[in-house]
Amino acid sequence: MAPDAIGKSTITQVVNTLARSDGGPARHSLEVNFALNRAGKDVRLVAMKGASSDSLLHEMSSREDFPRVAPTELDTRSWALYKRLLRQISNSQVLIIHGYYLWWVPLIALYAGAQRIPVVVMPHGALTRYDRHKSRTKKFIFNLFGGWLVNSRAHFVVASSMEKEELPDSIARQRITVVGAGAEFPRTPSRPKLRFEQPVQLVTLSRIAKKKRLDLVLEATRVLMDRGVDARLTIAGDGSSDYIASLKSLADELGLRGRAHFVGPVGGTDKSTLLESSHIFVLPSDDENFGLAFAEAAMYGIPAVVSDRVGAAGNLPEKAGARITSPNAQTIADAVMRLVRNYPDAADAMREYAREEFSWPSVAQRWIDALPSRRGWTPSHINLTPGAPRD
């Protein structure tokens, strides 16, 4: 990265890594960076872990809206770059942190706070009840040595109302704002027609993990086949090799060989091509503070079947999809068949809903409105004109 990549900026964002395998925080921090830059704000993004072949920058560097100053991936062996990061924070009006249970979060939050620079934390689901109950000993130690300070001083932005409700009581409610998340508009404006005599193309697109309940999606595909529906399933994403192997074994046991396809991580034109050819998006997760893949599919007008634990689908119209409490193979299959019967209307309803909820200009404005000033929780007090001095 160029030596001047870390320099003076109005807003500094910090994320743990830009690796594709990190899922939502990496991609979302980049998209927020792009969106705020398009809105005329001077924003710099820094990743605490160094570049890798898995970096999203390889995928996104060709975008027309790629920022003039490229995001920086720190070399963990270079203390000089860490010092430059601290200088950048000192010259910022606001510090945005993506992530929570990371060793560096309390340190840079404390550094910024000592200079009266407002700190905004987007925890990306790390503080939901589901996640707080995992690795409880490590999280207790984190809270003891710094988490309490972050909770008591920082402002928090979250992706959904569901996530806001689940943040711990130690975070004052008036310091939490729901900003949502955005997705890009597709290249093609309309959905392919679909009738029962055609193959129904189901798709999942996310990090492959147990909480996504892809086992239920495979079982629902089998149920649809047993009901006479020519269902096909594409599972896109990466995760534990052992878990992926277990899902492939389940697909074979269900007789889905040739019908359930594991295509690995997709991005750029490959992702667009996949979504353009898909009919129904399925995400029956046990916990999803937002669900960026749902938003991306929604922008393509793809009707969706999701669990009621997918935060992004909190306002999903019944006409555009189905939110299921405690989903199972039968209820998922029922919802798919309902959407197929009313497919053109469902696709139109989903497209309209997505444009209102997930367009990046709308999300960027929510971020700007949520940013605090040094005087407190009053966004109008902060001048976000690039190069302007801090209050």
153: nearest Cα among 381, 379, 383, 372: 372
Domain 200-358 has CATH 3.40.50.150: no
* Res 390 pLDDT > 50: no
Q: Is-same-fold flag (3-182+360-381; 200-358)?
A: yes
* Res 5 pLDDT > 50: no
* Res 379 pLDDT > 60: no
Give the rounded percent of residues in the chain with a pLDDT score beyond 90: 59
Contact by Cβ (8 Å): 27, 54: no
Identify the pLDDT of residue 190.
Answer: 58
Give the SS3 label for residue 183.
strand
129: nearest Cα among 97, 174, 168: 168
Q: What is the mean pLDDT of residues 189-206?
A: 75
Q: How far, in Å, CA of 314 to CA of 323, rounded?
A: 8
Q: How far, in Å, CA of 56 to CA of 43, rounded?
A: 18
Identify the pLDDT of residue 1.
Answer: 35
Residue-averaged pLDDT of the chain: 86
> For residue range 214-255, what is the model confidence (pLDDT) as tens digits?
999 999 999 999 999 999 999 999 999 999 999 999 999 999
> For residue range 334-373, what is the model confidence (pLDDT) as tens digits?
999 999 999 999 999 999 999 888 988 889 999 999 988 6
* Res 187 pLDDT > 70: no
Which residues are bridge partners to 324 per DSSP?
A: 307
> For residue range 94-134, what is the model confidence (pLDDT) as tens digits?
999 999 999 999 999 999 999 999 999 999 989 988 888 88
pLDDT band at 285 (very low <50, low <70, confident <90, very high): very high
- The greatest distance separating any two alpha carbons of the chain, rounded to the nearest whole angstrom, comes to 66
Q: How far, in Å, CA of 95 to CA of 16, rounded?
A: 14
pLDDT band at 385 (very low <50, low <70, confident <90, very high): very low
* Res 319 pLDDT > 80: yes
Q: Which fold has domain 3-182+360-381?
A: Rossmann fold (3.40.50)
Task: Please list, in sequence order, all residues whose beta carbon lies within 8 angstroms of the beta carbon of residue 380, skipping any fewer than 6 positions away.
Answer: none
Kindly state the tokens that stand for 188: 């093609």
Identify the pLDDT of residue 321.
Answer: 96
Phi, psi of 6 (to 5 degrees): -105, 115
Q: Where are the domains of the chain?
A: 3-182+360-381, 200-358
Which residues are bridge partners to 94 per DSSP?
A: 11
Q: What is the DSSP string of 227-272?
A: TT--EEEEEE--B-HHHHHHHHHHHHHTT-TTTEEEEE---HHHHH
Q: How far, in Å, CA of 7 to CA of 85, rounded?
A: 8
Of 42-51, 91-100, 189-198, 215-224, the one with minimum mean pLDDT is 189-198
Contact by Cβ (8 Å): 379, 48: no
